[in-house]
Chains A and B, each alone.
Chain A
Amino acid sequence: MGYFLDLFLSGLTRGSIYALIALGYTMVYGIIQLINFAHGEIYMIGAFTALIVAGVLTIYGWNQMAIIFIASIVALLYSMGYGYTIEKIAYKPLRHAPRLSALISAIGMSLFLQNYVLLAQTSDFMLFPSLIPDFKFLTSFSHIARPSEFVIIISTAIVMVLLTFFIKFTKTGKAMRATAQDRQMAMLVGIDVNRVISITFIIGSATAALGGVLIASHIGQINFYMGFIAGIKAFVAAVLGGIGSMPGAVLGSLVLGWTESFFTGYVSSDYEDVFAFIFLVLILIFRPSGILGRSDTQKV
């Protein structure tokens, strides 16, 4: 039972991180029908920025709480900046181009950002300081899970709730939903579509960066390649849940996290990544619209 619980919690942690990334995918896809390949790179850049800021502040001898706070905030802000800029350079000029063009542009952006970090920083693994402190009130649960696991799960839950409120009740959230439903019509009723798309990228980037910072301090090391596989798996999760649907992305992420965790725990860890891909192919064949997605018929 203990082993099962371990796997369950590690699956939940994994799923939470996938969910933070998958939300960005699903939001962007919902609005401009583009698989933002560079999204995983935003996650990686978030982790790198946090590492750099935390490293500098540690050397100048700041106290732990301040470092956590500042590093996370700076990482979030920078990722937002990157998300915004990427959209302006690589996707905005292609808004009326065929989807294939935008997709190729996204792949190019992903490749560019990976190599940008590789060249400007390093190709080695970098040790990431454990930013998450050992909270006193969590030590009584330490036989079940590490504090960082709790922090990841709890902060993911908070982000989900906030995001749901934002989409459901604020004016910008409404504008986002309207744009996702029908961009032309949204423009006609006076929604600044370009602004809405920018905001979507910014929010998606912020959640991805949060995921990056959390997972980096949980695992303890990062490199320039971390975003690629994580991004693809989050995409699998988004498709599993039904791309374009936010609760779907969360559900899909958790399902993927658990299945991966149990698969590696009980079957084999050699083929972990293979398993995720086979899972994706099976979903796409048998239920392309995902668990919570609507199947849309193509209109002319």
Chain B
Amino acid sequence: MSFEQIKKSLLVSLWFMVLTFPIMVIRVNTIYHTVEWRWHRMFGVGISVFVLSFLWRYLMGRKEAGLKRKDRGEADILSRSQKLLHEPRFTRPAVIMAGAFIIAFPFIFSIYQTNIMITALIYVVTGLGLNIVVGLAGLLDLGYVAFYAVGAYSYALLNYHFGVGFWIALPIGGGIGMLFGILLGFPVLRLRGDYLAIVTLGFGEIIRLVLENWNAFSFGPSGIANIPRPGLFGVDFSLREATIYIYFLMIALALFTVFVVRRLQNSRIGRAWIALREDETACQAMGIDKTKTKLSAFAMGATWAGMAGVVFAAKTTFINPASFTIWESIIILCVVVLGGMGSAIGVIIGALVLILLPEYLRAFSEYRMLLFGAILVIMMVFRPGGVVSEVRQTYQFKGKGD
């Protein structure tokens, strides 16, 4: 820690103290014409920026060193976290313990905890679905929640009008989600990546606004209540039993999703997605149909969102458009980005951390969205691959070394 660095950090923290001064310190009440000066906040900003600037410099230095190592070709192919995941001595007991914990969880903890876990699992499934679109195919979809809403509303409305049960609605919800994915994807997937982000964002808002305003169809902002929980051959469940049932159902759905995603990742279409993400032009030159490949990723992601939406409707038994705002899409995006784009285990960890932590650290719950924003920026700057980055398939030539 040299004198130069301290001076630089001091300047940075001074700059931030000035920059955040009006918004952090002053608070005017324009009705009663009073001013509140909150000077202590200024010092708080100064001190935390001072500390953070050292951290920033340290992380920047490490990132640059890492890049240099990579240039020289010295970097390991597997990162440390990846090595841990590929070490059978570690993974076997970990999988067994996690499995035992998952099975025992609803019986040890209360309904409340189980419900939180179900919410986290819904994010795991939607995260894995979005991971196909963003992580594998590299298409930034900011309207992902629209498909989730489509799934939830298709179950709620089918049930309301025709009395369709959960198990029939689940594939139908997925199917309708996929249909919407194709409908939206068909015209917009010819566009360049960043336009896609805005169009999907717009689409998400359109779906929400239509649900809010079209009262005759969706019952408007008041939503739909009394959606039945999933049944099992006509067995009557108590509330607790129903919650446990949904919990295991979600676990099964999550495992199924992981299975499908992993199989897809190594299939022809999965490799086409990854190739498309890396270089569109080269990919097309290799004879891959760009639109069809993108469309399949989009439709696949939408299917999972639709199914998760059906489960969501069945879990909460009440839905209204307020559950499907753009922020929901961004939280799911955050899950994918934090966990690691393209890596299934990363997304699971990301969802559990991001959804469970704010639930248990109630004191921080109002800072939740602020932190999500910071996480998106920081992850992109320092670790674009996420906590558990995807392993790239590489082939090493082990020939004679001369």
Q: Using a CB–CB distance below 8 Å, which chain A residues touch chain B?
A: 33-35, 45, 48-49, 51-53, 55-56, 58-59, 74, 78, 81-82, 85, 89-90, 93-94, 97-105, 107-117, 119-122, 126-129, 232, 235-236, 239, 270-271, 273-274, 276-278, 280-281, 284-285, 288, 298, 300
Kindly list 17 other residue pairs between chains A and B, CB separation below 8 angstroms, not including A52-B27, A274-B205, A277-B202: A35-B198, A53-B22, A97-B380, A98-B138, A104-B376, A105-B381, A107-B333, A112-B370, A112-B373, A114-B369, A115-B373, A116-B370, A120-B20, A120-B23, A121-B23, A239-B198, A274-B209
A98 to B274, CA, bound (A): 14
Complexed CA–CA distance, A122 and B26 (Å): 12
B330 adjacent to chain A (CB < 8 Å): yes
Pairwise interchain contact A298-B281, C-beta atoms closer than 8 A: yes
Q: How far is the CA of A34 from the CA of B380 in the complex (A)?
A: 14
Among A59, A108, A298, the most chain B Cβ lie within 10 Å of the Cβ of: A108
Q: Which residue of A lies closest to B186 (CB)?
A: A285
Give the CA-CA distance A7 to B257 in the complex, in Å.
Answer: 52
Residues of B170-205 whose CB lies within 8 A of A: 187-188, 191-195, 197-199, 201-203, 205
Contact of B27 among A81, A105, A108, A121 (CB under 8 A): A121
Q: Is the CB of B193 within 8 A of A99?
A: yes
Q: Assess the B197–A35 pair: CB atoms within 8 A.
A: yes
Q: A45-B23, A49-B22, A117-B23 are known contacts. Are A111 and B194 too (CB-CB below 8 A)?
A: no
**Interchain Cβ contacts within 8 Å, total number:** 171
B140 within 8 A of A: yes
Asked if B213 is at the interface of the complex by the 8 Å CB criterion, the answer is yes
| Contact assessment for A55 and B376 in the assembled complex, using a CB-CB cutoff below 8 Å | no
What would 30 A/B residue contacts be, using CB atoms closer than 8 Å? A34-B194, A48-B22, A51-B28, A52-B22, A81-B18, A82-B19, A89-B381, A93-B60, A98-B384, A100-B140, A104-B376, A105-B377, A107-B142, A107-B330, A107-B333, A108-B372, A108-B376, A108-B380, A110-B373, A111-B369, A112-B370, A113-B373, A119-B370, A120-B24, A122-B27, A270-B213, A271-B213, A277-B205, A284-B188, A285-B188
* Smallest Cβ-Cβ distance to A90: which chain B residue: B377
A contact residues around B367 at 8 Å (CB): 115, 119
Contact of B87 with A by CB under 8 A: no
Decide: A288 and B195 in contact? CB cutoff 8 A: yes
Minimum Cβ distance to chain B for residue A65 (Å): 19
Contact pick for A108, options B193, B203, B210, B374, CB 8 Å = B374
Q: Which residues of A sit under 8 angstroms from B197, Cβ to Cβ?
A: 35, 103
* Number of B interface residues in the complex (CB < 8 A): 61
Contacts of B373 in A (CB 8 A): 108-115
**C-alpha spacing A76/B180, complex, angstroms:** 43
Q: Is the CB–CB distance between A273 and B205 below 8 Å?
A: yes
Distance to closest chain B CB from A56 (angstroms): 6
Cβ-closest chain B residue relative to A282: B187
Known: A111-B373, A232-B198. A273 touches B23 (CB 8 A): no
Q: Is B376 a contact of A111 with CB atoms below 8 Å?
A: yes
B191 neighbours in A (Cβ, 8 Å): 284, 288
> In this assembly, does B102 line the interface, its C-beta being within 8 Å of a C-beta of chain A?
no
| Interface residues, chain B, with chain A CB atoms under 8 Å away | 15-16, 18-20, 22-24, 26-31, 33-35, 41, 60, 134, 138, 140, 142, 187-188, 191-195, 197-199, 201-203, 205-206, 209-210, 213, 280-282, 327, 330, 333, 337, 366-367, 369-370, 372-377, 380-381, 384
Sorted from nearest, which 7 A-B pairs have the closest CB atoms?
Answer: A108-B376, A112-B373, A55-B28, A111-B373, A277-B202, A115-B370, A105-B380
Are A89 and B140 in contact, with the CB atoms below 8 A? no
Q: How far is the CA of A100 from the CA of B342 in the complex (A)?
A: 14
CB distance from A224 to the nearest CB of B (A): 10
Inter-chain CA distance A277–B198, complex, in Å, is 9
Q: How far is the CA of A2 from the CA of B301 in the complex (A)?
A: 51
Which residues of chain B are near A278, meaning CB under 8 Å?
Answer: 202, 206
In the bound assembly, the distance between CA atoms of A109 and B369 in angstroms comes to 11
Cβ of B192 to closest chain A Cβ, rounded Å: 8
Tell me the minimal C-beta distance from A280 to chain B in angstroms.
Answer: 6
List the A side residues contacting B372 at CB < 8 Å. Answer: 108, 111
